[in-house]
Structure 1
Amino acid sequence: MKNITRYVSDFVYEGQNENGDLVNIDMRGPDEKKGHSPTELLLSAVSACAAVDIVLTLKKKRKIVKDFVVETDGDRNEDHPRSFTRIHSKYILTSPDTKPEELMKITGLVLDKYCSVASSLNVKVDFSVEIRDTE
C-alpha cells in the first residue's frame, strides 16, 4: 500500500493513494478550514474500518442492517506529541433482528482482531526519512 502526500500550503496538504484518489488534509483554523485534519482522518479511519467489518459480519449472520452510524470522539494529550489518550465510538445500528448484546460481541471481536486501523494504534511503527536536493 502506498500513499503520497503533497504540500499545497503551510497548513494544507493533499493525499493520493495508488488509484489516484485524492483527499484534502487541512490544518488551518476553523474560519479557513475546508477539509479534515490528520487526527480527524484517523478517527474517521477507525470508525470506517470497524464499521465495514461489523456490517459484513452482521450480514454474514443474515441480520438485517437498515442503517449503521458510528459517532467517534477522542481526547488528546495537551503536550506534544498530541496523541490520542482515549477514543470512544458509539455504534448506532438500525436493525429489526439484532440485539444490543450481539452488536457488542461483534464489535469487540472486530476491534480486537480485524480492524487494521485500531490494531495500528497499538503497535510501534518504524519510520524512515530521506532528503533529496533537487537543485
Structure 2
Amino acid sequence: MKIFLKRLNDAYHFETKNERGDIVHLDNKSEENPQGGSPMDLLLRGIAGCSSIDVVMILKKQKIELEDLQVEVDGFREEGAVPNVFKKIHLNFMLKGDLAPQKALRAVELSMDKYCSVAKMLEKAAEISYEVNVNGEPVK
C-alpha cells in the first residue's frame, strides 16, 4: 500500500492519492475555509468505514440485506496535550432492515473486537466503545 501526497496551495491544503488513483483532500481544520478533512478527522472516518465494511460483509454472509447503515463516531482528545491524540472513541451503529437485533450486535462485535484493522490499531492508544441500534431501538 502506498500513498502519494502533493501540496496544493501556500497553506495546508494537500491532495493524497493511492495507487488506484483515488483522491482524498487534507487540510488544517484551523484554516478559515478548509478544503479537506484533517488527518485526525480521517482516522475517525477510517474506523467508521472499516467497521461498516466488516458489518455489511458479515451480514451478507448470513444472507441479511440491510436497508440502511449509518455510524456516528465521536473522538475525544486530551485538551492541551502535545501530541493531542484521541483518548476515547465512541461509535454508534444505526442499522435498519429486517434483521434480528442480536445478529446486528454480533456483527458489530466481530468487527470491533476481531476484524477491523483500524480499530485494532487505534485501541493501542484510545479506549474504544460502541453501541448498536436496530430500527431505532438500542440493542443490549
What is the TM-score with the length of structure 1 in the denominator?
0.82
1:3 counterpart letter in structure 2 = I
- Residues 25 and 35 in structure 1, CA contact (< 8 A), matched pair in contact too: yes
How far the C-alpha of 1:30 sits from its partner, in A, is 6.0
How far the C-alpha of 1:123 sits from its partner, in A, is 4.9
Deviations 1:77-131 (A, max 9, x none): 21111111111111111111x222221221111112111111122459xxxxxxx
1:33 matched residue in structure 2: 34
| 2:70 matches 1:69 | yes
1:93 matched residue in structure 2: 95
> Which protein is bigger by CA-based radius of gyration?
1
- What SS does structure 1 have at the residue aligned with 2:92? strand
- What SS does structure 2 have at the residue aligned with 1:42? helix
1:81 matched residue in structure 2: 83
- What SS does structure 1 have at the residue aligned with 2:16? strand
- RMSD of aligned residue pairs (Cα, Å): 1.7
2:14 matched residue in structure 1: 13
User: Matched residues, percent identical?
Assistant: 35
- What SS does structure 2 have at the residue aligned with 1:109? helix
- Residues 12 and 28 in structure 2, CA contact (< 8 A), matched pair in contact too: yes
Q: Which runs of 5+ in 2 are unaligned?
A: 126-140
Q: Which moved more, 1:113-122 or 1:23-32?
A: 23-32
- Residues 11 and 28 in structure 1, CA contact (< 8 A), matched pair in contact too: no
How many pairs were matched up?
Answer: 123
Q: C-alpha separation between the residues in 2 aligned to 1:82 and 1:43?
A: 14
Q: Which runs of 5+ in 1 are unaligned?
A: 125-135
The structure, 1 or 2, with the larger RCO (C-alpha pairs under 8 Å, 6+ apart) is 2
- Residues 74 and 91 in structure 2, CA contact (< 8 A), matched pair in contact too: yes
Q: C-alpha separation between the residues in 2 aligned to 1:68 and 1:122?
A: 23
What is the TM-score with the length of structure 2 in the denominator?
0.80
1:86 counterpart letter in structure 2 = K
Q: C-alpha separation between the residues in 2 aligned to 1:2 and 1:28?
A: 24
